[in-house]
Amino acid sequence: MQEKIFNDPVQEKKAQRNGVELPIECILLQPTESKPFQRRRPPHYHDYIEFLFGLDECEVKAWLAGEELTFTEGELLVINANVAHDCFSLLPRSHYICVKILPQMIYFSENPMYDVKYVVPFLQHNLVPYQFFDRNALRESGLADIFTKMMDCWTRQEYGYEIALKSLFLEVFLWIIRYNHQHTRALMEPTADISYENIRLIQRSIEYINQNYADITETDAAAHVNLSYSYYSKLFRRVVGKNFNDYLTTVRINEAEHLLLSTDQSVTEIALSAGFASSSHFIEKFRKIKKVTPKQYRMNLQS
């Protein structure tokens, strides 16, 4: 029997201060020593969107839903809500700031639907689990000063610090969504002529897809939100930026990836569990997206 590579990801509870759940938390991470990057400890996930900003002499390796990347001084890693992840310092005394914020803190109007098009890209963990911004992207951003101010604000806890933290965070958030807009990186950035109600319907259908990916059809998803097949198909593509089948394939591949990491099921068993009609079809799609076969992917993570 093949050894499990991961235990199931652990859900991290919301941070608390004086018994009250915190909508935002700032942590200065200063490992006293580097530790090897080991895949065998279970990753964690939470309802927060997480922002990791590298400070001096920082070199940190992150594992995010089966992918690995390294961020260093002056670089920013944004991890979407409910994405399984873990981080390991590669240098002694690496310094980096971790800011975690609940998505509802980003809504700034009385009607959250007004802001939904900005927040949705940070919630679609099945589509793109993270965003990474290197030093070149951040050179003129001023984010280093903002993160430092946030950490200072969190530490001092002067009267009204919660408001100050949110104000500072919105500067970070605004920079990111404008950068994404300029570089066409946003996942769900609808055009102005799509109503917020239609955006909300697509959100509902995506939640339904994520829960029923193994045996769902586009007709099922359209019926779930009371839209005709043809209208739903066009609307889905405009809002999400890809068609229904491409999105569904991504969700199924991500689920298969999780099963490869956390179980000893065979490739055929995983293919069927994830909703693929055959193992050959699964292998073809997996290789197209991950650039390796499922078997090679599992073996690479065991090495």
3-state helix, strand, coil in the chain (%, to 5): 45, 15, 40
87: closest CA among 169, 27, 177, 173?
27
Positive/negative CA dihedral, 205, 216, 121, 6 = positive
SS3 279: helix
Percent residues over pLDDT 90 in the chain: 40
Helix (H/G/I), strand (E/B), else coil: 284 = helix
pLDDT of residue 5: 42
Distance CA 56, CA 217 (A): 49
211: nearest Cα among 170, 262, 255: 255
- Whole-number pLDDT of residue 154: 94
User: Encoding tokens for residue 193?
Assistant: 């002529």
Task: Give pLDDT, residue 75.
Answer: 96
From CA 76, how far away is CA 55, in angstroms rounded?
10
Q: What was the pLDDT predicted at 258?
A: 80
What pLDDT, on the 0 to 100 scale, is given for residue 72? Answer: 94
Q: Which helix (H) or strand (E) holds 99?
A: strand 96-101
Nearby residues of 251 by Cβ (< 8 Å), 6 or more positions away? 126, 127, 209, 210, 213
Low-confidence ranges of the chain (pLDDT < 50): 1-6, 34, 37-39, 109-114, 186-188, 190-192
**Domains of the chain from N-terminus onward:** 10-182 (2.60.120.280), 196-302 (1.10.10.60)
User: Which pLDDT score, from 0 to 100, does residue 297 have?
Assistant: 83
